[in-house]
Structure 1
Amino acid sequence: MTDKRIASAIDLALQQHDTPAGPLFVARRHGRIKKCFTRNTAIRYLAFFMTTWAFERSGFQQRHPRVRIDRDDMEVWRDGETKPEYMAAHKRCVRRLRRILARKRDMEKWCQQWDAMHDRYVKDVEALQSSKPF
């Protein structure tokens, strides 16, 4: 059978490219791109892109305010730490992405089994029709 697969949003956001050095995974979402050598890292970056975009759109703060540090009579500013709410949202996003990918994998496996069963059934019907006595 022909491949009737339609590219979903997760396929467009998380792509795998084969290179001579091995697979290259690309996470692409909301105008940001990251190339990674492992699938786990690509999923993590995709979750960062999605979580950051959601926090920016909602108006929630992703980090604590900047902190002023006095060092040797110089004014130095250090970025605030990432908030626990952001980290929890990122963790949920990674979990959901993995769940979506696992379900997609199961659905593709089932479709392959269905196509194989359908092909066997069609061959049996054709053989039965060709041996029809009248």
Structure 2
Amino acid sequence: MMTTSKAKSGIDAAFSRPLRPVYIVTRHGYRKRCLSRSAALNNLAHYMTTYAFRLAGVRTHYPDTPVERDGVIVHQLGQPTEVYLSAHARCIRRIRRLLARKREIQQWQEKHDALTEQYREFMKTKPF
């Protein structure tokens, strides 16, 4: 997932994979270590969607409900709203599309570099 230049793109900075088998997701002040790629994508989409909803002032969850447990009233967190869940799913699809596009560009770049090297070798043998 590393770029050839020293500067990282936004998706590289948010979704990185070090040499060990752990994905590290950082975005909008959150940081999470995940053991699978799907969990890392899910967390990244969660961070991005939650941040966008917070900026827009839209609730991500239904209101808390008071529940009695062992004679004590506790507040149970409400379920995520339908709007949040659909936005989260769209975000995951877009992240996957970005990563696929990035993979295509890297494959093209590798092929282009190989062809360029072949062309240079060919031009060295050109008779003058």
Same fold judged by TM-score > 0.5? yes
Match in the other structure for 2:54: 56
Name the residue aligned to 1:95.
93
Matched ranges for 1:27-46 at <5 A: 27-46=25-44
Number of residue pairs aligned between Structure 1 and Structure 2: 125
Q: Which secondary structure state, in structure 1, belongs to the residue aligned with residue 86 of structure 2?
A: helix
Between the aligned partners of 2:55 and 2:33, the Cα distance in structure 1 is: 25
- 2: CA distance, partners of 1:109 / 1:121: 18
Q: Distance in 1 between matches of 2:124 and 2:11?
A: 39
With the length of structure 1 as denominator, give the TM-score of the two structures.
Answer: 0.86
* Runs of 4+ in structure 1 over 2 Å off: 3-6, 69-76
What SS does the aligned partner of 1:111 have?
helix
State the 1:14 CA deviation.
Answer: 0.7
Structure label with greater radius of gyration: 1
- Distance in 2, matches of 1:5 and 1:107, equals 17
CA–CA separation in structure 2 for the residues paired with 1:115 and 1:74: 67
The alignment yields a C-alpha RMSD, in angstroms, of 1.5
Q: Out of 63-72 and 33-42, give the one that drifted further.
A: 63-72
* Superimposed CA distance per residue, residues 12-64 of structure 1 (whole angstroms, 9 cap, x where no aligned partner): 11111123xxx111000001000011111111100000000000010000011
- Aligned mates of 2:124, 2:30 — CA distance in 1: 52
Provide the residue aligned with 2:8 in structure 1. Answer: 7
User: Could you state the TM-score of these two structures normalised by the residue count of structure 2?
Assistant: 0.90
Structure 1: gaps spanning 5 or more residues: none
Tell me the percent identity: 34
Match of 2:84 in 1: 86
Aligned ranges 1:15-34 → 2 under 5 Å: 15-19=16-20, 23-34=21-32
Deviations 1:75-105 (A, max 9, x none): 2221111101101000000000000000000
User: CA separation of 1:61/1:99 partners in 2, compared to 1, >3 Å: closer, same or farther?
Assistant: same
